[in-house]
Amino acid sequence: MRILVLGSGAREHAIIRALLAEDADHDITAAPGNAGIADDVRTIGIDPNDGVAVAGYAEAHGVELVVVGPEAPLVAGVSDAVRERGIPVFGPSKAAAKLEGSKAFAKRIMEAAGVPTGRAEVAGTLDEARETIDRFGAPYVVKANGLAAGKGVLVTDDRDAALEHARQWLEHGTVLIEEFLAGREVSLFLLSDGEHVLPLSPAQDYKRLLDGDEGPNTGGMGAYSPVPWLEENFVDEVIKTIALPTIRAMAEEQTPFIGLLYCGLIVTDAGPRVIEFNARFGDPETQVVLPRLVTPLSGLLYAAATGELGGVPRPEFALDVAVGVVLASEGYPEAPVTGRAILGMDAASAVPEVQLLHAATDIAAIATDATSSWSTETLVTSGGRVLTVVALGSTFDEARERAYEAIGKLTIEGGQFRTDIAAAVAPAAH
C-alpha cells in the first residue's frame, strides 16, 4: 500500500516503524519527517498543515492512505482537503477535530452524550477565571481552551499560580476552569470509522519534567504499556460509557469522527472519568503501544478510514511490556537548546529489544574541534523532546533495565530525562 504519514515526531516514527514491521512491502512517505524517519522511509518537504499541497501530492503519487499524526493539520482541515480528492484519510475532519481543538466543544459533546467527566466552566476574562477558581476551590484545574502541545493544563493547590496560568492563556483565547478529580490517570486509544470503535492497549504517561511528578508540565516524559493496575473490565466500560456515546454524539452533530479517539482518563472511586479528548495518537503513549501491536496496523487504519471497522476483530497485542523514556534538550519545556550533538546512537541501538524513536533530530555540520576548519555531518537536536527510548521485556523490570541501559549510552550536552518511568507499576487488587 502507498501510505503518506504526516508529522515529524516520535509518534510518527512509531507509526512508521509499526507499518514497516508488517513486512508487507508498503511504499511509505513521511512529510516532513525527521533525521531518524529519513533513515527508514522517504521524506518530503511538504508542510503537513497545507491541505492543498498534501492533497495534491497524494493524488499525484497514487497514495492509498494518508495518516495524519499531529493535531495541527487536523484542526487546519487537511483531512477534508484529502478526502475531497477521494483518498482515504486516517484522521478526523476539521469540524470533528474540534473535539481536541476546543475544550469547551468537547465538554458540550460529553454533556450531550452523558459521558462521565468533571464540572467545567469557560472563562473569557481574568475576573471570570478568578470567580470560578474560588467557587470550585482547590486543587485548581486550569486549561487552555485550544491546542497547547500538551502544555496548557495546570493542576495546583497554589491559587496565585492558577490565576497566572489563566492570565497567560487568556492572551490566546478563553480558558476552562474544571473540577478536580482524584484518581490515577490512564490513556486509551480507540480507532473509529464514525460508527464503530476498536480499542488499542491502555498506556500511562508521565507529564511532569522531573522525577516524582515534580517540575513543569510537558508534552510527556515517558510512558508504559500495558497498565496492569486496571480492572479487567476497564476497556469494555470505557467503550460503553465514553467512546461509543461520544462517537454517536459526534455523528448526530453531523461531524462523524473518523480516526483516533484519544481518551485521557482518570480512574476514580466512581469509575473512569474523562479528563480530555484528543483527536490523534498520543505522544509518548503511541511509542509504547504500537511496538506491542500484533495485528497489522495498516489494515486497522485503512478500515477506519474507509468505514469498514464493523466486524473487524479487536487488535491483538503481545504479552511483552513496553517502557519508553524521553530524552529531552536542556531548557525543555520553556526554552529548549537546539543544535547539540547527539552521541552514542549505535551503542544505544545495540541494546536488545530497544528502539530509538526520533522526535526533534536533524543532520547538521559540526566543527570537528575549536581550531579546525573541518566539519562533519552529525545528528543534532532540533527541539525539546529529542528521542523516545523504547524497550520491550517480559517484565517491567526487564523493560526498564533495557531502556535505561540504552539511554545511559546516549550523550547530549545538557540532556535530561526522568529516572522513574514505570518504577512503581502495581497491579489491581482482585
- Report pLDDT for 82: 98
Question: Span 267-279, mean pLDDT?
Answer: 93
- Report pLDDT for 181: 86
Instruction: Kindly report, residue by residue over 196-254, the tens digit of the pLDDT.
Output: 999 999 999 999 999 999 999 899 999 999 999 999 999 999 999 999 999 999 999 99
Instruction: Kindly report, residue by residue over 394-418, the tens digit of the pLDDT.
Output: 999 999 999 999 999 999 999 999 9
Question: Span 91-105, mean pLDDT?
Answer: 93
What the block records as the C-alpha cell of 305 is: 478510514
Task: Select from 14, 240, 266 the least CA-distant residue to 114.
Answer: 240
% of the chain residues with pLDDT over 70: 95
The three-state secondary structure class of 196 is coil
Instruction: Kindly report, residue by residue over 191-201, the tens digit of the pLDDT.
Output: 999 999 999 99
Cα separation, 267 vs 117, whole angstroms: 11
What the block records as the C-alpha cell of 16 is: 512508521
Question: Span 177-187, mean pLDDT?
Answer: 90
- Report pLDDT for 429: 47
CA atoms within 13 A on the CB side of 171: 7
Task: Select from 391, 388, 380 the least CA-distant residue to 358.
Answer: 388
Phi/psi of residue 118, nearest 5 degrees? -85, 160
**pLDDT exceeds cutoff 80 at 292:** yes
Residue 369 pLDDT grade (very low, low, confident, very high; cuts 50, 70, 90): low
Cα separation, 315 vs 190, whole angstroms: 11
- Report pLDDT for 151: 61
**pLDDT exceeds cutoff 90 at 174:** no
CA distances to 110, 174, 180, 350 from 418, rounded to whole Å, are 34, 32, 26, 22
CA distances to 205, 329, 348, 382 from 262, rounded to whole Å, are 13, 27, 31, 27
- Report pLDDT for 90: 98
Highest-pLDDT range among 85-99, 100-114, 118-132: 85-99
Domains, the chain, with CATH or none: 2-90 (3.40.50.20), 119-178 (3.30.1490.20), 182-305 (3.30.470.20), 321-412 (3.90.600.10)
Instruction: Kindly report, residue by residue over 312-367, the tens digit of the pLDDT.
Output: 999 999 999 999 999 999 999 999 999 999 999 999 999 999 999 999 999 997 66
Cα separation, 206 vs 228, whole angstroms: 16
CB 333 within 8 A of CB 221: no
- For 23, residues 6+ apart whose C-beta sits below 8 A from its C-beta are none
For CA atoms 205, 209, 210, 215, the dihedral sign is negative
**pLDDT exceeds cutoff 80 at 286:** yes
**pLDDT exceeds cutoff 70 at 419:** yes
Q: Which amino acid is at 297?
A: L
Residue recorded with cell 555540520: 365
% of the chain residues with pLDDT over 90: 82
Beta strands in 200-317 (DSSP E): 204-205, 208-210, 214-217, 222-225, 258-268, 271-278
Residue 102 pLDDT grade (very low, low, confident, very high; cuts 50, 70, 90): confident
**pLDDT exceeds cutoff 90 at 290:** yes
Task: Select from 253, 273, 240, 282 the least CA-distant residue to 108.
Answer: 253
**pLDDT exceeds cutoff 90 at 33:** yes
Residue-averaged pLDDT of the chain: 93
What the block records as the C-alpha cell of 185 is: 490517570
- Report pLDDT for 58: 98
Q: Give, rounded to a whole angstrom, the gap between the first and last alpha carbons of the chain.
A: 45
**pLDDT exceeds cutoff 90 at 430:** no
Residue 121 pLDDT grade (very low, low, confident, very high; cuts 50, 70, 90): confident
Question: Span 27-38, mean pLDDT?
Answer: 98
Residue 263 pLDDT grade (very low, low, confident, very high; cuts 50, 70, 90): very high
Give the relative orientation of helices 126-136 and 159-170 as an angle to the nearest 10 degrees.
150
Question: Span 170-199, mean pLDDT?
Answer: 93
Residue 374 pLDDT grade (very low, low, confident, very high; cuts 50, 70, 90): low
Question: Span 354-383, mean pLDDT?
Answer: 82
**pLDDT exceeds cutoff 80 at 268:** yes
Question: Span 134-154, mean pLDDT?
Answer: 79
